[in-house]
């Protein structure tokens, strides 16, 4: 390959690598920061409860078993059975749903995807933005800034209230400029952001359950390395004393 061709391909590859993630998010709306912390077990627990109550009727999380959830969240299996498992399932089963995909498609227009790995494909910030930007458009139906023409209803509308779009014209095209709270919900906007953060923290944990352990182990590994550096340094000082 000649040099010029190589440099053109190389700079294209760099450009795609830099710009790609911007497009990956899709929807064209600016993402808000979720600031989730999967080591905050209380937040993961609250998120798990929200997930079971508000999402599991349509979305499965078939990579997660209830007993794994219990272990990771430091919960008694009995507590999990009483608080999180409503259907007639056993503690060792995965978080599946009863709805048949064909029915889901008929009712909702689309099959709700499994959410086990959604935090990996979409990212926490996208999920956070998604759950914050549902609004009611002129047709009276639900729409969403992160996923335009979404076929999922706003399941948290009673908590958040109903957002209305404010339009602006950019280059002759009418677009949603921002959203306003047309009808307040049971939670204040700050409380609702906290609720969504808990939910996204759970989804982030769900995408990589080992993350919690990995982060905990990581602290010990770093401490060990720091301690070992001290020992190695003391050893070096000891050896070199004889050489000098």
Binding site for ligand HEC (CB under 6 A): 54-55, 57-59, 108, 110, 112-113, 115, 118, 122, 127, 130, 147, 150-153, 155, 199
CB of 5 to ligand HEC, least distance (A): 38
Q: Are 135 and 179 in contact (CB under 8 A)?
A: yes
CB of 57 to ligand HEC, least distance (A): 5
In the bound state with ligand HEC, the residue whose beta carbon lies nearer, of 22 and 231, is: 22
Alpha carbon dihedral 150, 153, 159, 161, in 10-degree steps, equals 70
Give 133's contacts (C-beta < 8 A, 6+ positions apart): 29, 144, 145, 146, 163, 179
CB of 110 to ligand HEC, least distance (A): 4
CB of 118 to ligand HEC, least distance (A): 5
In the bound state with ligand HEC, the residue whose beta carbon lies nearer, of 101 and 182, is: 101
Residue by residue, DSSP assigns 184-228 as E-SS-HHHHHHHHHHHHHHHHHHH-THHHHHHHHHHHHHHHHHHH
84 Cα distance to chain centroid: 20
CB of 205 to ligand HEC, least distance (A): 13
β-bridge partners, 58: none
Q: Coil, strand or helix: which one is 229?
A: helix
In the bound state with ligand HEC, the residue whose beta carbon lies nearer, of 98 and 232, is: 98
β-bridge partners, 134: 144
Three-state DSSP string of 33-84 = CCCCCCCCHHHHHHHHHHHHHHCCCCCCEEEEEHHHHHHHCCCCHHHHHHHC
What is the spatial distance between Cα 142 and Cα 107, in angstroms, rounded to a whole number?
A: 15
In the bound state with ligand HEC, the residue whose beta carbon lies nearer, of 25 and 77, is: 25
CB of 73 to ligand HEC, least distance (A): 18
Residues in the chain: 244
In the bound state with ligand HEC, the residue whose beta carbon lies nearer, of 101 and 184, is: 101
In the bound state with ligand HEC, the residue whose beta carbon lies nearer, of 83 and 151, is: 151
Give 231's contacts (C-beta < 8 A, 6+ positions apart): none
CA-angle at 228, arms to 227 and 229, nearest 5° = 90
CB of 128 to ligand HEC, least distance (A): 10
In the bound state with ligand HEC, the residue whose beta carbon lies nearer, of 55 and 95, is: 55
């Amino acid at each position: 390959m000649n040099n010029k061709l190589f440099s053109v391909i190389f700079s294209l590859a760099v450009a795609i690598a830099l710009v790609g993630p911007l497009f990956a998010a899709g929807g064209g709306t600016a993402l808000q920061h979720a600031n989730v912390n999967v080591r905050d077990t209380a937040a993961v627990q609250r998120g798990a409860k929200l997930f079971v109550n508000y999402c599991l009727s349509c979305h499965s999380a078939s990579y997660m078993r209830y007993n794994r959830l219990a272990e990771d969240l430091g919960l008694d299996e009995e507590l999990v059975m009483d608080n999180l498992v409503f259907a007639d399932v056993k503690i060792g089963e995965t978080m599946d749903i009863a709805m048949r995909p064909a029915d889901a498609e008929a009712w909702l227009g689309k099959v709700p995807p499994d959410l086990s790995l959604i935090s990996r494909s979409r990212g926490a910030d996208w999920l956070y933005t998604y759950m914050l930007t549902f609004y009611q458009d002129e047709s009276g139906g639900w729409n969403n800034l992160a996923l335009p023409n979404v076929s999922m209803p706003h399941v948290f509308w009673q908590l958040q209230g109903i957002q209305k779009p404010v339009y602006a014209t950019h280059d002759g095209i009418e677009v949603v400029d921002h959203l306003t709270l047309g009808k307040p919900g049971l939670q204040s906007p700050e409380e609702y952001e906290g609720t969504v953060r808990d939910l996204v923290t759970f989804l982030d944990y769900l995408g990589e359950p080992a993350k919690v352990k990995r982060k905990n182990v990581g602290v010990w590994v770093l401490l060990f390395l720091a301690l070992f550096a001290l020992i190695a340094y003391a050893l070096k000082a000891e050896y070199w004393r004889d050489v000098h």
